[in-house]
Amino acid sequence: MPISTVIFDAYGTLFDVSAAAREAAEDHPALAEAWPRLAEDWRAKQLSYTWLRATAGRHCDFWQVTQDALDWALEAQDLGAGLRQPLLDLYWRLGAYPEVPGVLAGLKAKGLNTGILSNGSPAMLEAAVESAGVGGHLDAILSVEEVGVFKPAPEVYDLVGARFGGARADVLFVSSNGWDAAAAAGYGFTTLWVNRAGAPRDRLWGDPAHEATDLTAVEGLT
């Protein structure tokens, strides 16, 4: 069956999660050399907290997780508390990767359904989409808050079928997170892993059907 729906993860896939730390470094000398590690620690803790909360049944929204992860990352480098609010403010307007607007516009020109499926809270996702100016190219913004558990719980991936219908294999699911792409493949989606960092594949219960270094590969799969 041909692809009818293309669903994107948000953070790290459409939106550059390193952008907040990188941009903050322009105004805060304390981050001049520290920002790459800060960005890496912040993201790593953000993800690990979602997995731990899902496993323990202790859900909270992604904004709380984002704040908790940043607090850990700042303390790990003994960075001042004064950096906290500027970094959090920047997270609400993360930049999109350069190819994002063109890829989304191309999919809509083909008449395909498009959407986001993310751990992000609805408010966070709406702010990011508005900041990037891509809302006109998306048919749905789906948040895990609808089911109260983070990825890769199957209930999250169920949201796509509930919104768009169709067979799982008719969905092209696109994520830069290897674990997310693998889990979505195991769920039954046709999956593209956007491996921007050249990382090895995760050893999980599913294996992405496609792999590329950026989102332009979507055009050849639809």
Pairing outcome for strands 113-118 and 140-143: parallel
Q: SS3 for 210?
A: strand
The one catalytic residue in 9, 16, 41, 61 is: 9
Task: Spell out the SS3 assignment of 95-159.
Answer: CECCCHHHHHHHHHHCCCEEEEEECCCHHHHHHHHHHHCCHHHCCEEEEHHHCCCCCCCHHHHHH
Q: Residue 214 and residue 12: Cα distance in Å, rounded?
A: 11
CB 192 within 8 A of CB 6: no
CB 93 within 8 A of CB 133: no
CB 133 within 8 A of CB 102: no
Bridge partners (DSSP) listed for residue 143: 118
Residue 89 annotated among the catalytic residues of the structure: no
Of the chain, the end-to-end C-alpha distance in Å amounts to 11
Catalytic (active-site) positions: 9
